[in-house]
Structure 1
């Protein structure tokens, strides 16, 4: 699932499209259990010389620069990477942990995110996955990975842990295609 979303977002960003509301409610499964990114109502096409300025998205998934854009530059595709970090956390925690950023008012949300407060990653989360989540949640957009980097990293994880996945999940196809 994580790889499907990352590939979809990699494609969008290659087309200079920022989704701006990436969240679990905007993901669908097809009949082969592949994840599709949906709801492009808030998406924006940008080019290398422009950025977005509008405060848009869903609290709990929203990157700090959406709320406090660095004037006069606004924000770029890295806002989707921040949201993706929340999705990764949701995928791994499966509702076992509370998202400390959901349900806050805008002012409290900004304060919490600025202070580096993020949802608690479960203790049993593998280091490689934890590192990816944390890199997506970086406060500074320029320090977050791109989706191209995320796709490569997830492929690396799948390749290096293929046998472990097969033991845990049976003969599920963990191909990288």
Structure 2
């Protein structure tokens, strides 16, 4: 059975691999082994193949290295994104798995950061917060548009000029039913 890119990403290791490519990065499996040292090589190769088969990764280039072919991969444009139609098609269990995979990825990223001896959460501007906002649906849509506007030029920046790769993750969800809907007892 062929899986959609959304289904392919509903796996913790595959999501971590896809996240490694964020920021227009092109990586080999050797690069990925360096970035994800806790993932056994056989698992890494198998999951990269699943991401290629699922249309999430594509081969950017190939080189001969000591008689073997070394492939450099990159994210297919938009492949690691779940659009509105794909999100609507997901079951409740798909959403639970997807969110759990996302949270597990965040925990793994934090663990990798905390393993560095020279870390300094203040210097490195590490933060995690949760705020409760009271917004109408229109105000929420306006906020999302404003955030996209602020983030778009920064997402387009590449490495260099003293830049460090940083992960910026968001979760936006209502905590109560829409106005006029009956609340579950």
TM-score by length of 1: 0.27
Larger radius of gyration: 2
Structure number with higher strand proportion: 2
TM-score by length of 2: 0.26
